[in-house]
Amino acid sequence: MKYIWIFLCSVFLSDAMAENASRWGFDPKDATACLQKAIDSGTRKIVVDNTGSDWLIGPVSLRSGLELVFADGVVVRALPGAFLGRNDCLFQAWDAAGITIRGEGNAVLKMNKGDYQDGSRYQHSEWRHLISLRGCENVVIRDLKLEGSGGDGIYVSTGRQMPGCRNVTIENVIATDHHRQGISVISVDGLRIRNSQFNHTSGTAPAAGIDFEPNSANEWIADCVVENSLFQKNVLGVCISVGALTADSKPVSVQFRDCRFEGGAPVLYSIASRTTTPVKGAVVFERCEFTGAESGVALINNLLAGGFEMKFKDCVLDNRGARGTAIQLSSSLPVDFGGLIFEGTVLKTGNKPVFGFMNLSGGGISATGGDLKLQNNNGEEKLFNFDAFMAANKANPELLNFKTLPLDPEKLKPLAEDGRDAASKRFRGKFKLLQYVEKDKPLTLKFKARQVSKAPLNIQVEVKDAAGVLVDQFRITEPDFSYELKSASSGVRLFEINTGTHTLELASGHPGQAIWADTRTGMFVASGAEFYFLVPAGVETVQVEIMPDVGEPVAAALITPDGKTAASSKAQPNLYQLSAKRNDTSKAEIWKLKFPYVREDFRFRLGAPLPPLVSTAPENILVQK
């Protein structure tokens, strides 16, 4: 009896402390100020009451110790013309604790996704979230419809004081028609999602129903459980992209139980690691169904033996309507792919291939297997033979042992006195440009930048001297860009360039100019690209490594000084090497590396004992002193 009395008293006190938001005023044209005043008042429970008109608001900040209730029939809508800031969110909380955001009956929180996608009205952004939690603890979001954000329906991430959120519960939420994700989980320790839906996400990559994607190794994807939820008609059903985490990070722990994933290209997409020291832990799908695949049920990259395990337990994977292979595996790291486990799971093959493996590193497949039943279109079942699959995909020592020659930029000089303008094709990602400059003799480097995504151009460049000391830095934000290089001493300058998602071409050539291709140098839509490189006297074997991006084959050829093809390959989807031997090694020669066909993205590097330097014209080549 005593406990019933205490409960009734707590309910009474809670209701007594509640206030309608309209007590602080209501402006049907812009209710931002009154709602913010209500929240800032310190009243524990604020009810956004039904005034008969939508609550049109700009960005609103939440605080600790707040219960924000949206009454039945209430529609809170983003104010048209507001949210011009690229990070403006409808509701945002920083470093707060004890927040409940809930609806009663039919309550809707809505943004204007189409407006934010209009480049003539808004600067491109993928961060105009509907509810953003940054470094928050003990948060509940329930009984709401979340629609049409310019970013994510819900964003869970790092704050100023804590590298993530703790104890977040999401129940009975329908998140639909968001620009980037239904929900993005960047960093959290303790997440419960129940009885919810994340549907119709489209606009910018990855466009997943749910995306687990930390930004740094000190963030968390820990103690996450998603139950009895639907992910429907998203570009990707579920994304597990934890490559930023390492073996020193908190182990991954994600469990999906009794969930349904309908549609996606593919339904499941994963980048498990970007390092050979992967994060530990487990991602488990239990009693889940994957259906409506467009290009395959799953694409899993860099799941490494010795890292976290991905398990499918008592699941149904339906590939019957897909165009290709059911489960596509790939690895771009020089260790074995492994840790993919099946238990009591059925794969409806649609008479398509079951597994594909794109070997982008030389590593093989190990520590993969279990109980996977294959069901054909006639309903006949058989077990998949994992032993045979692993035996057919062993590590390739030749690819794994590819080495590059170390170089000292202080010991480089131009081969010729006069260079030649020869524009390059499009580089993408991080690459290194070397340029020799004579004392007090300026030269102008010209670049041409191109947008690939909708994000504005913002290509970062650091300029270092031959000893690696930073001497300048700049950003390329326009399609045509020139940089004047001048030095008080002669020598090589190193340009470390990061194009992000965009691309950059060299539009001018000078003597002593080269791409430093000791690491995998990325290019984009570069069919016909040609590079010249020096084969020093005494070098017998000319060797180049070509690494396509996943599903994007590339062809390459090595051309001798007399124009003959010494080695070539048709377009391949896997990592490969071109190798050719010289009969006469008594003199140095200039060879050409050519890429006749490129689907989209690829990377390349030159193998030892070649100096890993390529130039757009033979006159521009750098050589060792």
Mean pLDDT for the stretch of residues 255-273? 96
**Tell me, what's the pLDDT at 453?**
85
In a domain, 421, yes or no: yes
CATH code of 322's domain: 2.160.20
Do residue 440 and residue 333 come from a single domain?
no
In this structure, the chain runs to a length of 625
Range of the domain at 543: 409-624
Do residue 290 and residue 370 come from a single domain?
yes
Are the C-beta atoms of residues 246 and 216 closer than 8 Å to each other? no
In a domain, 5, yes or no: no
Mean residue pLDDT of the chain comes to 95
Could you tell me the strand order of the sheet in which 565-572 lies? 529-535, 589-598, 554-559, 565-572
Q: Which of 341, 358, 391 is the last residue of a domain?
A: 391
In a domain, 22, yes or no: no
Are the C-beta atoms of residues 556 and 529 closer than 8 Å to each other? no
Q: Report whether pLDDT(265) > 90.
A: no
In a domain, 13, yes or no: no
Mean pLDDT for the stretch of residues 416-423? 87
Tell me: cis bond preceding 266? Omega within 30 of 0 counts: yes
Q: Tokens at residue 462, please?
A: 């650091």
Name the pLDDT band for 17 (thresholds 50, 70, 90).
confident
Do residue 316 and residue 443 come from a single domain?
no
**Tell me, what's the pLDDT at 550?**
86
Do residue 128 and residue 221 come from a single domain?
yes
In a domain, 296, yes or no: yes
**Tell me, what's the pLDDT at 421?**
87
Can you point out the beta strands (E) in 235-280?
236-241, 252-257, 260-264, 268-271
**Tell me, what's the pLDDT at 418?**
87
Q: Tokens at residue 585, please?
A: 């090694």
Name the pLDDT band for 606 (thresholds 50, 70, 90).
very high
Name the pLDDT band for 2 (thresholds 50, 70, 90).
very low
Do residue 246 and residue 357 come from a single domain?
yes
Do residue 535 and residue 507 come from a single domain?
yes
Mean pLDDT for the stretch of residues 260-274? 95
Name the pLDDT band for 488 (thresholds 50, 70, 90).
confident
Do residue 96 and residue 205 come from a single domain?
yes
Q: Report whether pLDDT(14) > 60.
A: no
Residue predicted with more confidence, 89 or 295: 89
**Tell me, what's the pLDDT at 625?**
87
Do residue 443 and residue 375 come from a single domain?
no
**Tell me, what's the pLDDT at 3?**
37
**Tell me, what's the pLDDT at 120?**
93
Rounded to whole angstroms, the Cα distance separating 553 from 569 reads 11
Q: Report whether pLDDT(13) > 50.
A: no
How many domains does the chain contain in total? 2
Q: pTM for the complete prediction?
A: 0.90
Are the C-beta atoms of residues 273 and 300 closer than 8 Å to each other? no
User: CB-hemisphere CA count at 13 Å for 437?
Assistant: 24
In a domain, 40, yes or no: no
Q: Tens digits of per-residue pLDDT, 137-163?
A: 999 999 999 999 999 999 999 999 999
Q: Tens digits of per-residue pLDDT, 109-128?
A: 999 999 999 999 999 999 99
In a domain, 397, yes or no: no
Question: Residue 456 contacts by C-beta under 8 Å, 6 or more apart in sequence?
Answer: 123, 124, 477
Do residue 419 and residue 379 come from a single domain?
no
Reported as type and span, the H/E element at residue 432 is strand 427-437
Do residue 434 and residue 380 come from a single domain?
no
Residue closest to 609 by CA, chosen among 404, 410, 415: 404
Are the C-beta atoms of residues 244 and 252 closer than 8 Å to each other? no
Q: Which of 391, 417, 448 is the last residue of a domain?
A: 391
Do residue 361 and residue 506 come from a single domain?
no
**Tell me, what's the pLDDT at 41?**
97
Quick check: helix, strand or coil at residue 512?
A: coil
CA dihedral 506→511→512→513, nearest 10 degrees, is: 10
Do residue 251 and residue 328 come from a single domain?
yes
- Please, what is the Cα angle at 111 between 109 and 112, to 5 degrees? 150
